Amino acid sequence: MEEHTKGQIETKKHSEEKHKESKEELEHPREIKVEKEKKSILMTVKEFYNSQYKLLLIIPFILLAFSLVSIGLKYASTGDFINRDVSLKGGVTLTITTTEKIDINEIENILKNKFIENDIEVRALTKLGAQAGIIVAVDIEEGESDSLLEEIQRITGIELTKENYTVEIVGSSLGASFFREVVVALMIAFIFMGIVVFLYFRNFIPSTAVILAAFSDIVVTLAIVNFLNIKLSTAGIAAFLMLIGYSVDTDILLSTRVLKRKDGTVSERIFGALKTGMTMTVTTLAAIIVALVFTQSETIRQIMVILLIGLFVDIINTWIQNVGIIRLYLERKQKIK
């Protein structure tokens, strides 16, 4: 009797809910239809992501392969795996402050015709959104700086004095030495990160997945930076160090939620980690975009651009590559049991 009464109550409740939904559809037909379509698309994407993780794994591995080939070809053709600016390979950086409007493209083209064998970069120096001067970076030796000054005076028509310009000179041997030390520091940081990850998880496959994701972030981001012809300074190397930290952060979040927690299914734990991780990433991306819009510093701008690229790459490597590897690991572990 109790079961019959309970069934009647549930039927009545279900009927009331359907009546309520029907009433809402009559009152707001367009809004309800759009909402249902959104839910349908979201459910389709979620189902595809949940069921086709093996197929999705192809994407990050293709990206990694293309990036390694791209960096290898660059090294074979230029002897360098990145585009270095004068702070990392040596040269002269000339900063001129002036209120006169200067066409930086014209100056760069003229200087390239004059110094044919050298890399030349001319940037605008801005203050509160207005041009406040120019920065000229050329990989020439110290003895050639006088001819550079004379050429710039001739092109711009500005008389250079101690009050309106500064020169920074980095020797080629010093630049090369500093670059080697920076690369070694980056490698040491990566190795120690790997050791900490292995000590934390004490499991080969999840630890390797975290390290592989961080490695993929660095390699793919570097390939994109080379493709965009961004010349890396010491600030750029610092950005890659920051990227290692952020990558490991999201990967450990994922691995900890999925492997160490036991509540819910594997899919539920993955989507819980995804929600938290994407909130972190979107917040960081918003801060980076604000910095890019308002900063006047080329150093900060380069850091922000590299982090922006790296965070988008990290979304692929964490939430497709790492998720796929962890799910395959758990499936194999379940079969063995």
Tell me the pLDDT tens digit for each residue of 51-93: 888 888 999 999 999 999 999 999 998 888 888 887 778 778 8
Average pLDDT, the chain: 81
251 Cβ neighbours under 8 A, 6+ residues apart: 209, 210, 213, 214, 318, 322
What's the start-to-end Cα distance of the chain, in Å? Answer: 45
The residue-averaged pLDDT of 235-250 equals 87
pTM of whole model > 0.85?
Answer: no
For residue 279, give both structure tokens: 């909130």
Return the SS3 of 225.
helix
Task: For residues 119 and 111, give the distance between their C-alpha atoms in angstroms, rounded to a whole number.
Answer: 10
Query: Domain spans of the chain?
Result: 49-83+174-336, 91-170
Q: How confident is the model at residue 225 (pLDDT cuts 50, 70, 90)?
A: very high
**Which of 240, 244, 253, 262 lies closest to 200 in space, CA to CA?**
253
Are residues 250 and 210 in contact, defined by beta-carbon separation less than 8 angstroms?
Answer: no
**Which of 319, 158, 205, 164 lies closest to 254 in space, CA to CA?**
319
Q: Give the amino acid at 110.
A: I
Could you say which of 3.30.70, 1.20.120, 1.20.1740, 1.10.150 is the CATH number of the domain covering 91-170?
A: 3.30.70
Please name the helix (run of DSSP H) or strand (run of DSSP E) that holds residue 109, with its range, or none.
helix 104-114
Q: Give the amino acid at 228.
A: L
Q: Give the amino acid at 4.
A: H
Q: How confident is the model at residue 6 (pLDDT cuts 50, 70, 90)?
A: very low
**CATH class, 49-83+174-336 region:** mainly alpha
Task: Starting at the earlier edge strand, list the strands of the sheet with 165-170.
Answer: 120-127, 130-138, 91-97, 165-170
Q: How confident is the model at residue 30 (pLDDT cuts 50, 70, 90)?
A: low
What is the C-alpha radius of gyration for the chain, rounded to an integer number of angstroms? 28
Q: Which long-range contacts (CB under 8 A, 24 or more apart) does 183-187 make?
A: 183/237, 185/241, 186/237, 186/240, 186/241
